[in-house]
Amino acid sequence: MRKPFIAGNWKMNLGPVEGAKLAKELKEKVKNESCRVLVAPPFVTIASVKKELEGTNILIGAQNMSDQEKGAFTGEVSADMLIQSGVSVVILGHSERRAYYHEDDAFINRKVKLALKKGLEVILCIGETLEERKSGQLEKVLSTQISGGLKDLSKDDMKKVTIAYEPVWAIGTGVTATKEDANETQAFVRAQIKELFGDSIANNVIIQYGGSVKPNNVKDLMSQEHIDGALVGGASLTSENFVPIVLFDK
């Protein structure tokens, strides 16, 4: 009953020309799939990708947005600008933003609330580092990121939120969490959502797994009860890799 949701996070790759080329290939090969499909290009690539994907079911996402509505915030991009550009989903709290740009849960929470208020859907990324996992802090780290990132949200808000569980040690490393490990952790994530928002929200919330998802492991991961989708980095950059991931159940 939870519709699979596969998202490609292009990170700082593919400019307007390269992005449009990939979008064209995707639109030819990905049609009316049983899952939701999203690509999240860099800001400057959104327009050319949007043009290419017009009239398709492939959603367009952004990788970040400002916590401010408008004004003198040099270098920032607002929720309204994203919406005007054809974006319907924004990825927030990615571990790279947490680690390299020092985004904390309170700051991420401000963006989550603003995005929802403006009518965007949110993919909230959470995940532990290897040190945190090894020192037995996995559950504490995740529950803090969940309660902090989703603070003050209503049940209605939660209908527009997807959680992406991405163990930091599995991102871009070629090391994937085992399907059992990922499933167990995502069951914990769902239980946390249940504590905060109740049964019905917890049963319906989409929880993606992210971290070295590839064509050869996606099916195994997606077969797990608590893995409802994937947030794909490196393997979303070519149609050769991303298409078979989207078609995992074919």
Catalytic residue annotation: 94, 166
Q: What is the 3-state secondary structure (H, E, C) of 35-53?
A: CEEEEECCHHHHHHHHHHH
- In sequence order, the 6+-apart residues with CB closer than 8 A to the CB of 154 are none
- Decide if residue 171 touches ligand PGA (CB under 6 A): yes
- Decide if residue 234 touches ligand PGA (CB under 6 A): yes
- Decide if residue 175 touches ligand PGA (CB under 6 A): no
- Decide if residue 212 touches ligand PGA (CB under 6 A): yes
Q: Where are the beta strands (DSSP E) in the chain?
A: 5-9, 36-40, 59-62, 89-92, 121-126, 161-165, 207-210, 229-232
> 67, 128, 166, 228: which one contacts ligand PGA (CB under 6 A)?
166
> 150, 231, 245, 246: which one contacts ligand PGA (CB under 6 A)?
231
- Decide if residue 127 touches ligand PGA (CB under 6 A): no
Residue with tokens 């963006």: 111
Q: Report, in Å, the least distance between residue 151 CB and ligand PGA.
A: 23
Whether the Cβ atoms of residue 213 and residue 167 lie closer than 8 Å to each other? no
236/214 Cα distance (integer angstroms): 9
Q: Which stretch binds ligand PGA (CB under 6 A): 64-72, 98-106, 136-144, 232-240?
A: 232-240
Binding residues for ligand PGA, rule: CB under 6 A, are 9, 166, 171-172, 210-213, 231-235
